[in-house]
């Protein structure tokens, strides 16, 4: 009886654990009342366009700005769409469509909004700036205007940009290792003085690049990617990466960055840690109030552990740590019992007082048959998780 009650509670949380609103943007052909949160954008699976790389920033005037890119068989050239909300996420309007921008993070720095990512799938590293809330953007044409990495193939995701000890930090990967997804990714960190012109190549320092050793994790290590720059408890900088390890418990990898940003180091004996949902992309941020580290991740409940953990994305959990090495599932925020065509993934989020506000790459039902699969999302959704610090109990609401 207890297990059945928890399973029903998890489905209930899908409906009540967010803002409880579902206002769609114009031209969204969906059933927003059935989709958790607020629909920011939607593409039917039949369009051949899937929504990826959600990112979220809060401007100094209180506006929210969200972005996503488009992938899939009909996506054509890389492009990122930018949306804004002036009513704390209740309604959204498209502000821009940016060609030649992919896998990108929105961040605010010194009153300007930036978009940093790649020019396309495994493209060049690029950064753009907007001074009007994301409506217009600079163009990365050369080394003076935002073309940062033009010497090969690069990879990243919407992961944190952190200002610490006078520098702006951001994790990246190149895609120039041995051929094949996972093995091709080599981790590194970029940084620049916080008062520098971030569009200039000369402002940025890159660390050395570390690739995978296939012998790590008992020969089950597929690679690492989508790293998070985090300020560690001792004040140093670390890069915490998603680990392609398709066993349980899932893992993350902690790489250490030298104070000047030039050296990245990893000890396989101590650097892998258990992380709920670590086989999928996650975002880690440190709470300025509690000083605790928080993440929203695709933790896999025991009832779903017979499948592939990398594609099990139907559960969104709030997880926390005091040390970055031991992580606890605090609560299940979103859940759907179907693994194959439902997901709440690649969630980017921000602190806002006692709440977390977030955007998700969501695969869910619509009037045209739902998502192609759990990976090929048909929605960008916005969520507010209220009083997140009060959510208590390891695995609360987890369907066993």
Return the half-sphere exposure (C-beta side, CA atoms, 13 A cut-off) of residue 150: 12
Residue range 2-390, CATH number: 2.120.10.10
Confidence at residue 179, expressed as pLDDT on a 0 to 100 scale: 83
Confidence at residue 46, expressed as pLDDT on a 0 to 100 scale: 97
Domain ranges of the chain: 2-390
Comparing 87 with 26, the larger pLDDT belongs to 87
Whether residue 251 is predicted with pLDDT greater than 90 in this model: the reply is yes
Confidence at residue 31, expressed as pLDDT on a 0 to 100 scale: 54
The average pLDDT across 301-314 equals: 97
Confidence at residue 393, expressed as pLDDT on a 0 to 100 scale: 47
What pLDDT band is residue 30 in, cutting at 50, 70 and 90? Answer: low
Whether residue 243 is predicted with pLDDT greater than 70 in this model: the reply is yes
Q: Residue 271: name the closest of 309, 230, 240, 231 by CA.
A: 240
The average pLDDT across 377-400 equals: 78
Whether residue 5 is predicted with pLDDT greater than 70 in this model: the reply is no
The DSSP bridge partners found for residue 3 are none
Residue partners of 335: CB distance under 8 A and separation at least 6: 10, 11, 13, 14, 314, 315, 316, 397, 399
Confidence at residue 29, expressed as pLDDT on a 0 to 100 scale: 52
Confidence at residue 260, expressed as pLDDT on a 0 to 100 scale: 97
- pTM (two decimals): 0.92
């Amino acid at each position: 009886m207890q297990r059945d009650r928890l399973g029903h509670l998890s489905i209930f949380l899908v409906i009540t654990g967010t803002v409880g609103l579902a206002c769609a943007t114009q031209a969204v052909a969906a059933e927003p009342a059935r989709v958790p949160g607020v629909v920011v954008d939607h593409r039917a699976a039949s369009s051949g366009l899937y929504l990826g790389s959600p990112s979220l920033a809060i401007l100094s005037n209180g506006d929210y700005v969200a972005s996503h890119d488009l992938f899939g068989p009909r996506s054509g050239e890389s492009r990122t769409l930018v949306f804004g909300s002036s009513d704390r996420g209740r309604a959204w309007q498209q502000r821009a469509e940016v060609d030649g921008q992919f896998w990108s993070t929105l961040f605010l720095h010194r009153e300007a909004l930036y978009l940093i990512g790649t020019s396309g799938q495994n493209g060049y590293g690029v950064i753009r700036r907007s001074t009007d809330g994301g409506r217009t953007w600079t163009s990365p044409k050369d080394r003076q205007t935002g073309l940062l990495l033009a010497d090969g193939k690069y990879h990243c995701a919407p992961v944190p940009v952190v200002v610490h000890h006078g520098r702006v930090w951001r994790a990246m990967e190149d895609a120039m290792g041995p051929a094949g997804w996972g093995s091709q990714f080599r981790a590194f960190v970029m940084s620049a003085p916080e008062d520098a012109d971030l569009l200039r190549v000369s402002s940025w320092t890159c660390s050395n690049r570390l690739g995978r050793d296939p012998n790590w994790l008992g020969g089950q290590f597929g690679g690492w990617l989508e790293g998070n720059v985090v300020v560690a408890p001792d004040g140093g900088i670390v890069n915490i990466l998603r680990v392609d390890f398709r066993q349980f418990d899932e893992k993350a990898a902690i790489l250490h960055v030298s104070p000047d940003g030039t050296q990245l180091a990893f000890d396989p004996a101590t650097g892998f840690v258990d992380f709920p949902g670590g086989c999928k992309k996650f975002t880690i941020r440190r709470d300025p109030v509690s000083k605790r580290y928080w993440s929203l991740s695709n933790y896999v409940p025991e009832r779903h552990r017979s499948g592939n953990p990398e594609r099990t994305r139907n559960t969104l959990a709030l997880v926390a740590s005091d040390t970055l090495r031991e992580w606890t599932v605090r609560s299940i925020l979103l859940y759907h019992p179907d693994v194959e065509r439902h997901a709440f993934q690649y969630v980017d989020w921000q602190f806002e007082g006692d709440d977390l506000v977030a955007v998700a790459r969501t695969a869910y039902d619509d009037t045209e048959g739902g998502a192609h699969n759990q990976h090929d999302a048909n929605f960008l959704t916005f969520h507010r998780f209220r009083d997140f610090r009060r959510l208590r109990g390891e695995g609360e609401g987890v369907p066993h």
